[in-house]
Amino acid sequence: MFQISAYLNLSLAMIIVGSSVVFGKIITEAFPVFLASGLRFSIASLAMIPFLVRSRSRLMAIHHREYIKIMAMAVAGQFVFTFLLLLGLRYTSGIEAGIITSTSPAFMAVMSWVFFREKTSRRQFSGILLVITGMVVINVWPLLTRSTLSGFHIWGNLLILGAVLGEAVFLLMRKQIDPDISDMELTGLLCVAGLILFLPFSLWQAVSFDFTSVNADAWVSMAYFGAIFTVLAYLFWFKGVSRVSGNIAGAFTAIMPVSATLLSILFLDESLTLASTIGGVMIIGSIFMMCLPSKREGAWKSEEQPAA
């Protein structure tokens, strides 16, 4: 029962993350990037303030070193990821952005090896090579076949890739944060940290921005981006990932590009290209290659049981 609940939480988190690509695409057409980011974290912070106020005594007891780590985590996952994602969505499609953001497990494996000297298995290394191949297919194939792919489109894909790097650092840094800090507390603190980071830039853009030009769809998308994506996706993911092994949690990231692709087709009237399809299959295949443990490794034994 605990594992079913964890799987449901992980699935919901990845569906929401996939949907953020679609809503982010709508937002970038209506708002400048810094203003959009500031509004996102303003909404998220307002949603979390009541909880943070109730937890103020615990928050006051957290060591200052943990706050430094949380701010560094926010720089990577809130500032870098959000800025590059929204900027990249101005130039690339929602489908390709969703596929590219699913490369996070590969980058996490590389960073774990570089910064934490964690061993990389032969299968993980093969998965990383498959990710690189998939990215090459998505970005180079259209040029070789003389398809209509502009330099701006490739630039957009590179920006999305930079966002993935920020997200990978963000996810890895969760291991460095005191586990006694609850998921709700960490989510609330990250929302406030994101607001602090974007506030000066968003106020600068807000001064000259015509808010009356924004249509209802963009405002609804902004509310969703702030309250649902920023808050609920984190809570679902943190709650689910604590009950399963890292391998199983990583495999659930394959849901995200599927969600982004289907929603982009439904709401953005986008269509799959041959390059996106082949590259996407390679990238999703790499996720399972890197994340699903084999029976020989004791995949289905007690290590995957929920923590007590």
Residue 128 has pLDDT above 80, yes or no: no
Residue 1, token pair as written in the block: 């029962």
Q: 198 Cβ partners below 8 Å, 6+ apart?
A: 34, 37, 38, 41, 78, 79, 82
Predicted local distance difference test score (pLDDT) of residue 173: 77
User: DSSP assignment of 12-67, as one string?
Assistant: HHHHHHHHHHHHHHHHHTTS-HHHHHHHHHHHHHHHHHHHHHHTHHHHHHS-HHHH
Specify the 3-state DSSP secondary structure of 213: helix
Predicted local distance difference test score (pLDDT) of residue 39: 95
Residue count of the chain: 308
Predicted local distance difference test score (pLDDT) of residue 120: 63
Q: Which of 30-39, 83-92, 177-186, 221-230 has the lowest mean pLDDT?
A: 177-186
Residue 116 has pLDDT above 50, yes or no: yes
Task: Measure Cα distances from 166 to 30, 55, 161 in Å.
Answer: 24, 28, 9
- Mean residue pLDDT of the chain comes to 80
Give one word for 41, left, alpha or beta, with left for phi > 0 and alpha for psi -120 to 50: alpha
Predicted local distance difference test score (pLDDT) of residue 25: 87
Residue 296 has pLDDT above 60, yes or no: no
- Percent of the chain whose pLDDT exceeds 90: 22
Residue 149 has pLDDT above 60, yes or no: no
Predicted local distance difference test score (pLDDT) of residue 6: 81
Residue 71 has pLDDT above 70, yes or no: yes
Q: How far apart are CA 132 and CA 84, in angstroms?
A: 20
Q: Which of 53-62, 125-134, 179-188, 208-217 has the lowest mean pLDDT?
A: 125-134
Predicted local distance difference test score (pLDDT) of residue 241: 73
Residue 189's pLDDT band (cuts 50, 70, 90): very high
For residue 232, give the amino acid letter: L
CB 70 within 8 A of CB 186: yes
Residue 45 has pLDDT above 90, yes or no: yes
Predicted local distance difference test score (pLDDT) of residue 299: 41
Predicted local distance difference test score (pLDDT) of residue 60: 87
DSSP 8-state secondary structure symbol assigned to residue 150: -
Number of H helices and E strands in the chain, helices first, is 15, 0
Predicted local distance difference test score (pLDDT) of residue 119: 67
User: DSSP assignment of 88-119, as one string?
Assistant: HTTTS-HHHHHHHHTTHHHHHHHHHHHHH---
Residue 201, token pair as written in the block: 């830039």
Q: Which of 26-40, 51-65, 223-237, 262-276 has the lowest mean pLDDT?
A: 262-276
CB 204 within 8 A of CB 141: no
Q: Which residue has the higher pLDDT, 266 or 192?
A: 192
Specify the 3-state DSSP secondary structure of 293: coil
Residues 215-243: pLDDT tens digits?
999 999 999 988 888 888 888 887 787 67
Residue 305, token pair as written in the block: 């049981």
